[in-house]
Amino acid sequence: MIRRPHLACLRPPCSRVGLLALLAPLVPTGLFAVFAVFAQFVLAAGSTAWAQTRHLPLAQVRSGLAFAGADVRALQADEFGNPAQLWLGRGEQRWREPQGPAGKSCQSCHGEVQQSMRGVATRYPAIDVKSGELLNLEDRIRQCRTRRQQGPELAWESDDLLALSLHVSQASRGQSLRVTIDGPARQHWQQGERLFLQRQGQLNLSCANCHDQNQGRRLFTDILSQGQPNGYPVYRLEWQGVGSLERRLRSCLVGVRAEPFAWGALEARQLSLYLMWRGEGLPLEVPAVRK
């Protein structure tokens, strides 16, 4: 359950019981039972269609870089001046460093990152086959560090974790986002959609209010983007450092005066899964820079 102050969703679900009660007086008694079964079928079919609807058509999907100023775009394009390069260099070092009693590095199992990790970052969050849990890329890296290498746990949002995540993500640079939302991932995707549409906090705003309905408009000095996740982990000028998508989601919740997700919360992964699906087709931009 979400323990944050919120009001109604943008699109509250229709109550089947309420709809049948409303229409009952209009239907002859002998036909009401047949009508009830038919109505349940229609509503079920409608809910399936709704779950497959894209609120933002793929033809309109645009990276956050398209909403950035010329200075930010130039900084991202500068292979020497891009400050995220510092984290990339650190990530390459950590990839090769032995950890734990066995003295294994990431490279010991996976080899060169550009070959073994190509395309991996475009598919997360994803369901872990063994546990059935929904994991993001940082979860997987933390899991490998403790279980496979038997090394010390990487702290949430630590420089080493972000550096490794950025290093792995760069192997997929230019590839399109393509997460899986079928099978056991389906319920998580549906919950992510609900979270995206749910008004929250003292400002009573949803993600969709800003990033669907008001994209391209100015909020003070900033232009509201579509909130696409294809640049994470990202260097943000306001942070003066690299941060994960989970950190950004927590910041947005604080911005609408709502209680942020706890670190590692399932809700953050569900919302991330929906966002990755929502941005399907966008190329992964790493190392990315945002304001």
Domain ranges of the chain: 61-79+180-290, 86-170
User: Does the pLDDT of residue 99 top 50, yes or no?
Assistant: yes
83-95, pLDDT tens digit by residue? 999 999 999 999 9
Listed range (1-5, 141-145, 177-181) with the worst mean pLDDT: 1-5
Mean pLDDT of the region 238-251: 97
pLDDT of residue 52: 53
pLDDT of res. 219:
86
- With a cut of 50, say whether residue 43 has pLDDT above it: no
Which pTM value belongs to this model?
0.82
Q: Are 126 and 185 spatial neighbours (Cβ–Cβ below 8 Å)?
A: yes
Mean pLDDT of the chain: 86
> Looking at residue 40, what is its pLDDT?
37
In this structure, whether the domain defined by 61-79+180-290 belongs to CATH 3.40.50.300 is answered with no
Of 19-33, 74-88, 97-111, 201-215, the least confident: 19-33
Give the confidence band of 7 by pLDDT, cuts at 50, 70, 90: very low
Determine the topology of domain 86-170 in CATH. Answer: Cytochrome Bc1 Complex; Chain D, domain 2 (1.10.760)
Give tens-digit pLDDT for 177-224: 999 999 999 999 999 999 999 999 999 999 999 999 999 999 888 899
Can you give the pLDDT at residue 16?
Answer: 37
Whether residue 37 is predicted with pLDDT greater than 90 in this model: the reply is no
The catalytic position among 106, 144, 207, 252 is 252
Higher-scoring residue by pLDDT: 219, 4: 219
Task: Look up 106 and say whether it is catalytic.
Answer: no
Q: Which of 10-24, 78-92, 268-282 has the lowest mean pLDDT?
A: 10-24
Do 86-170 and 61-79+180-290 have the same topology in CATH? yes
Is pLDDT at 13 greater than 90 in this prediction?
Answer: no
Alpha-carbon span 284 to 291, nearest angstrom? 18
Q: Which of these ranges, 41-45, 102-106, 236-240, 287-291, has the smallest mean pLDDT?
A: 41-45
